[in-house]
Amino acid sequence: TVRFSNGRLQQSDSLQFTVYRNKDKAHPRKKHRRILVSETERLSYVANNFSSGVLKCNSLCRYFVGVLDKDSGQMEVYNAEIFNMQPLLSGRKGNALKLSTKSLPASPWCASSHCGLCWLPGGSFCLISASCPQHAGRRRPLHPRALVPCALQMDLCIEAFGTSKQKRALSTRRLNTVDSDVVSTAVSRAAANVIDAKGVTALIQDMTQEDTQNISSFLPPCNEDAEKPEQVYKFEDILSPAEYEALRVPAAAFVNITAEEIAKKAEEKSHCSFVLEQLKLLPADGKSRDHTARCLWFLDTLVKFSCLKVIRKKHPMGPDCPHTISRKLMKNFTSLTYNNGSVQNLISASMKAKITAYVIALALHINSFQTDLTVLQNDLKLPESRVLDIARAMRLRISNAKGLPGLEEDQKHKLGSLSLPLPMQKAAEGRRKRRRMT
């Protein structure tokens, strides 16, 4: 089913349509791509179902076409798709005709009877008149570097030798041609009007909000109207009650851990530094100890999961990870990609940023809403600037702090704290380029 963007079709019998399909039938997306082409006396029209200008109605609902058999009175229903036909306006400019004197004929006469060009001895060219069959006395020498563009030459050929249909198409294209200088002037005027009406300060604020919104799409839900720090990033948004209950069995090893076992795990480096340090500080109260152990086990799982790149296994974190947690990791912290004929789960840079944000939020709940960002940065193997950008987007206050025991003393640690009222959001600062030493 087609519709025309610039008008309504009056006579459909005179139109012929051509459908082009993608050759890659194995690709799950490309095999459904179609290009529809139609040509009229004045213009050519084209439509597709995969570009950014595709109609949204095709993805929101389904369309059907019914074909009624008048003899039997029965109707057959077929799946349909709406194509938005748009006129194809060719604005080819500046494609210079590159010819070599070696490829030209030795005859002094015209190389092609349709191009209006004649080659002269000595390597020069001339435009000839169509009304002069012998090309005598009507030559205008041209140097090869001063040749007119291909599109202009084709237009001259159509004017001289083209059919009536080609001439009508040429006339329509010239009417629809817009000079680049006119477009540049119009854009400059529009930009000046926007700056005068809104002001430079307002435009910079809009850009800051847009940049912040792009980062916020990977952050946990933030409650800006919270009255307590624990209500800003609610624990239920990080772990649902069902997921929290599923952590009871694997976190039991942390609940009953001893100092000797912690020292052994530190030597083996089986857990991240943040978790090993927090295991030494587990509360004595049974309920609080169990709660902290569950949070630490899930945080350690998130850190290990962020180190993966392509997920090829159904349970990438092993059999000890509950099915509910494994499904949460695959659904919320991976993106689907197509490679080698199959769909794979990939941990992209944006997904790693999302994992980092959830790790920081969980660490805030564990550490009374104050955590060492440098320790988390080392565990996640990210640059300090990246972690600080995410922390600022989460409305944390950044300060310098002394490192934890066992780490380098001269390393300046960044401490992130969540307190009310929340600071204003700021866009990520630009990186300064280093100067080359000469």
- For the chain, what is the HEC assignment? CEEECCCCCCCCCCCCEEEEECCCCCCCCHHHCEEEEEECCCCEEEEECCCCCCCCHHHHCCEEEEEECCCCCCEEEEEECCEEEEECCCCCCCCECCCCHHHCCCCCCECCCCCCEEEECCCEEEECCCCCCCCCCCCEEECHHHCCEHHHHHHHHHHHHCCHHHHHHHHHHHHHCCCHHHHHHHHHHHHHHHHHHHCHHHHHHHHHHHHHHHHHCCCCCCCCCCCCHHHCCCHHHHCCHHHHHHCCCCCHHHHCCCHHHHHHHHHHCCCCHHHHHHHCCCCCCHHHHHHHHHHHHHHHHHHHHHCCCEECCCCCCCCCCCHHHHHHHHHHCCEEEEECCEEEEECCHHHHHHHHHHHHHHHHHHCCCEEEHHHHHHHHCCCHHHHHHHHHHCCCEEEEECCCCCCCCCCCEEEEECCCCCCCCCCCCCCCCCCCCC
pLDDT at residue 264, rounded to an integer: 92
**267 shares a domain with 164:** no
Between 71-85, 147-161, 222-236, 332-346, the lowest mean confidence (pLDDT) is in: 147-161
Whether residue 318 sits in one domain with residue 238 = yes
* Residues 329 and 385 occupy one common structural domain: yes
**Does residue 390 share a domain with residue 274?**
yes
More confident: 178 or 168: 168
Range of the domain at 9: 1-89+152-170
> What pLDDT sits at residue 235?
93
Q: 245 pLDDT exceeds 90?
A: yes
Whether the pLDDT of residue 198 is over 70: the answer is: no
Share the mean pLDDT of the chain: 75
CB contact set of 314 (below 8 Å; sequence gap of 6+): none
In the structure, what pLDDT confidence band is assigned to residue 201 with cuts at 50, 70 and 90? low
- Read off the pLDDT of residues 397-429 as tens digits, 9 standing for 90 and up: 999 876 445 445 445 788 999 988 888 766 555
| pLDDT one-digit tens code per residue, 111-164 | 333 334 443 333 333 444 444 444 444 444 444 444 445 667 778 888 888 888
Is residue 68 situated within a structural domain? yes
Task: Please tell me the predicted confidence (pLDDT) of residue 232.
Answer: 93
Under the banding of pLDDT at 50, 70 and 90, the label for residue 286 is: confident
Higher pLDDT pick, 193 / 148: 193
Residues 166 and 278 in one domain: no
Task: Count structural domains, the chain.
Answer: 2
107 has a pLDDT exceeding 60: no
108: pLDDT strictly greater than 50: no
116: tokens are: 């209006």
pLDDT of residue 127: 41
126 domain-assigned: no
- Say yes or no: 225 and 309 in one domain: yes
Residues 116 and 130: beta-carbon distance below 8 Å: yes
188, part of any domain: no
Whole-model pTM: value is 0.52
According to the model, what pLDDT value does residue 141 have?
43
Q: Judge if 355 and 228 occupy the same domain.
A: yes
Residues 162 and 283 grouped into a single domain:
no
Taking residues 238-267, report their average pLDDT. 92
**pLDDT (average), residues 376-396:** 92
**Within-domain flag for 80:** yes
Residue 282 scores a pLDDT above 50: yes
Q: Is there a domain that residue 396 lies in? A: yes
Mean pLDDT of 223-244: 91
Q: Is residue 179 part of a domain?
A: no
pLDDT band per the 50, 70, 90 thresholds, residue 204: low
The model's pLDDT over 19-71, given as tens digits with 9 standing for 90+, comes to 888 888 888 878 888 888 887 777 788 888 887 667 766 666 778 888 888 88
Whether 14 is in a domain gets the answer yes
What is the tens place of the pLDDT at every residue in 368-380? 899 999 999 999 9
Phi, psi of 249 (to 5 degrees): -70, -50
Q: What is the pLDDT of residue 184?
A: 64
Domain assignment of residue 183, yes or no: no
244 and 372 share one domain = yes
